[in-house]
Amino acid sequence: MTILSRSLIFLLVAGLLAMSFAKPTRVVFFGDSITQAGVGPGGYIDRLKKMMPADQFELIGAGIGGNKIYDLFLRMDDDVLAKQPDVVVVWVGVNDVWHKATFGTGTDPDKFVKFYEAVVKKLKAANARVILCTPATIGEKTDFSNQQDGDLNQYSQLIRDLAKRQNLPLVDLRKAFLEYNLKNNPENKEKGVLTTDRVHLNEAGNQFVAEQMQKVLMEGGK
């Protein structure tokens, strides 16, 4: 056997071994209580684990109840970057809007954008692929009579604009939830279609979110 032949065989075997031991894409879901609940039985992350190839994707939750965009920025090093993610799905915004009315501690639009941009910049600097999500709902009425509809639409548009500026994938849950409720909420109920309490996901909501996430994650590949 010639030296060239042995070299080719060595390269072939090395390549096959590298493929065999390729690590799955590590995806961290970064958000608030909706994501915190998402890792539990029947949660959207738990469902995604059953819907996506386990040898290709490792899914990790990093959600904390009550979090706003600046909370994500402050805990990003410990809760996300330390896990060395390949992909980070950022889903935040409900508390930035909701807490304005309930506690008077929401996030003003200009600060929301600045902190969000800082989160994206730091994740990109760590070579993570970033996927953005719009906040889904604070009330499921379809006639735009939910108290926070105006603010929620505004903040969702801020995220859409950021995704466009940064050329980032977007899971537009706000749009998807509105379209779903228009078809499936003829009684104009404020909760019970995709949520338990106007915000947090019920069984149908977790499945719906998992399906929306799956589309974008699979489109991106490894």
| CATH code of the domain in which 123 resides | 3.40.50.1110
H or E stretch at 39: none
Domain with 182 in it: 24-220
104 pLDDT tier (thresholds 50, 70, 90): confident
CB under 8 Å to 9, separation ≥6 — which residues?
none
Residue 44 lies in a domain: yes
Side chain identity, residue 99: H
* 3-class DSSP assignment, residue 212: helix
Domain-located, residue 190 = yes
- For the stretch 120-164, pLDDT in tens is 999 999 999 999 999 999 999 999 999 999 999 999 999 999 999
What pLDDT score was predicted for residue 6? Answer: 62
| Both tokens assigned to 160 | 């859409």
Give residue 216's pLDDT band: very low, low, confident or very high (50, 70, 90).
very high
Tell me if 70 is assigned to some domain.
yes
Q: How far apart are CA 208 and CA 211, in angstroms?
A: 5
Helical ranges in 21-68 per DSSP H: 33-38, 44-51
Spell 195-210 as b/e; 16+ CB within 10 A means b.
Answer: beebbbbbeebbbbbb
Query: Residue 22: pLDDT band by 50, 70, 90 thresholds?
Result: confident
Helix (H) or strand (E) holding 186: none
Residue 7 lies in a domain: no
- 53-101 pLDDT, tens digit each: 999 999 999 999 999 999 999 999 999 999 999 999 999 999 999 877 7
Outline where the chain has alpha helix (H).
Answer: 3-20, 33-38, 44-51, 69-79, 94-102, 109-125, 149-166, 173-184, 203-220
Domain annotation covers residue 181 = yes
Q: Does residue 178 lie within any of the structural domains? A: yes
Q: Considering only CA atoms, give the Rg of the chain.
A: 20
Does the residue 4 lie in any domain?
A: no
Report if pTM > 0.75: yes
State which amino acid sits at residue 23: K
User: What is the average pLDDT across 216-221?
Assistant: 79
Q: Domain count for the chain, please give it.
A: 1
In a domain, 2, yes or no: no
User: What is the rounded distance in angstroms from the CA atom of residue 41 to the CA atom of residue 79?
Assistant: 21
Return the number of other C-beta atoms located less than 10 Å from residue 216's C-beta.
Answer: 17
